[in-house]
Amino acid sequence: MNYDSKIAEHIRDLPRSGIRDFFELVIGRTDVISLGVGEPDKPTPWPIREAAIRSIEKGQTSYTSNLGLESLRIEIAKYVEGFFHVNYDPKSEILVTVGVSEALDIGLRALINPGDEVIYHEPCYVSYNPSIQMAFGVPVPVNASPAHDFAVLAADIEKAITPKTKIIMLNFPTNPTGGIEPLEELEKIAALAIKHDLIVFTDEIYSELLYDDRKHTSIASLPGMKERTVLFHGFSKAFAMTGWRLGYACAPSPLREAMMKIHQYCMLCAPIMSQIAGLEALKLGASAFEEMRVSYEKRRNTIVRRLNAMGLPCFNPGGAFYVFPDIRSTGLSSKDFAIKLLQSKSVAVVPGPPFGAIGEGYVRCCYATAPELIDKAMDLMEEFIAEVKAGKHA
Ligand code: PMP
């Protein structure tokens, strides 16, 4: 059978994730130090796991409301108000989803008509471009260049706006760079959204992981923005809950309702045990992640110092748990750098280009890895750079 003719054209033509392809090379190798996958190295804090275990013991194994447990939505509203300073009604403005991944997907599908343009900043999370395409939108990337510490300039966003623009998508701190948007630029982006009557998607998944005493501002909290913003957040990063697949979207009720229609048909609801775990996580609040945050900050200091010292210029990121060093001085492409480093030293980093064309010449290293392994990986990387300079990996 000619399967190519059976598969939907827009899916057939979609490239596979560059990260996945790279990790096929790592799977099954126990000798590799991975600075690759973007997830915490510690399991979910025990009280959160315990809450889920108890719920299963009690036989709480049913569906929940499509919207998510009301008790969880009430707790989300309290948390979001406390952390982001935006007030959402748990009944009409919050939807519990299967990770931020599902929330972003149904948000795009609920708003995009074929051909609508979505502006986002690159380098960015690998799913943004394909998710926009799968919703029949047109991805419009705008560079968040290293020259501006990986922040995006409102002026560059403005240049990309056309009559077809519907959404501006933001993610600060950013995966894969750890970049943060200065407040003045965020305010200018808000003014653009208001002037051109655009919707803003703000992916806040790393917003608890900020360093150097920074305080986070979500664009949703700026004057006039709540009514045109969808705030996406979840539990994967701060609460070390990647495997639970739990997230949420906060949005004006007509947008929440549109997203809910897709969610109820394709997902029904997020798993009840994950929702109960999420409820416990929010009750614990910052006490569940503050120790990890402090530990990530120390690891960031180490990795940034070591990378710069070995001649790979590396921006000191204000948040998330990634660094995005410039490897151009090695003369290798990002992909060759990552493959040769893996083959010769068993250290895994991710090549930059899957995060956007501007990522060529860079690699992403996730430092949510045990401190002693970061030290070891840096020693090995230093050896590798010396060997490259001596012509060994040409
Ligand atoms: N947004 C960004 C920026 C991410 O980095 C990730 C995961 N790496 C997600 C969303 C997806 O998160 P979740 O586990 O909640 O689906």
Give CA torsion, residues 297, 212, 38, 47, to 10 deg.
Answer: 70
Residue 202 near ligand 1, beta carbon < 6 Å: no
User: Is residue 129 a part of any domain in this protein?
Assistant: yes
Residue 171 near ligand 1, beta carbon < 6 Å: yes
| H/E segment holding residue 322 | strand 322-323
Alpha-carbon gap, residue 165 to 138, rounded angstroms = 9
Write the pLDDT tens digit of every residue in 282-312.
999 999 999 999 999 999 999 999 999 999 9
Tell me which residue range forms the domain holding 366. 3-44+289-389
Q: Of the residues 252, 285, 318, which one is the last residue of a structural domain?
A: 285
User: Is residue 394 a part of any domain in this protein?
Assistant: no
Asked whether residue 74 falls in the same domain as residue 200, the answer is yes
Query: 233: CA distance to ligand 1 center in Å?
Result: 9
20 pLDDT above the threshold of 80? no
Write the pLDDT tens digit of every residue in 80-136.
999 999 999 999 999 999 999 999 999 999 999 999 999 999 999 999 999 999 999
**Probe target for ligand 1 pocket from 124, 175, 207, 275, with the most ligand atoms within 8 Å of CB:** 175
* Ranges of H-type helices in the chain: 3-6, 9-12, 18-24, 46-57, 70-84, 99-111, 128-134, 154-160, 183-195, 253-266, 272-284, 290-309, 334-345, 371-389
Write the pLDDT tens digit of every residue in 331-384.
999 999 999 999 999 999 999 999 999 999 999 999 999 999 999 999 999 999
Asked whether residue 328 falls in the same domain as residue 236, the answer is no
Atom 2 in ligand 1: residue holding the nearest Cα: 125
φ, ψ at 149 (rounded to 5°)? 55, 35
Asked whether residue 249 falls in the same domain as residue 129, the answer is yes
pTM over 0.75: yes
Residue 175 near ligand 1, beta carbon < 6 Å: yes
**Probe target for ligand 1 pocket from 39, 102, 108, 125, with the most ligand atoms within 8 Å of CB:** 125
Give residue 23's pLDDT band: very low, low, confident or very high (50, 70, 90): confident
Q: Of the residues 243, 266, 285, which one is the last residue of a structural domain?
A: 285
Write the pLDDT tens digit of every residue in 159-194.
999 999 999 999 999 999 999 999 999 999 999 999
Q: Which domain CATH number covers 244?
A: 3.40.640.10
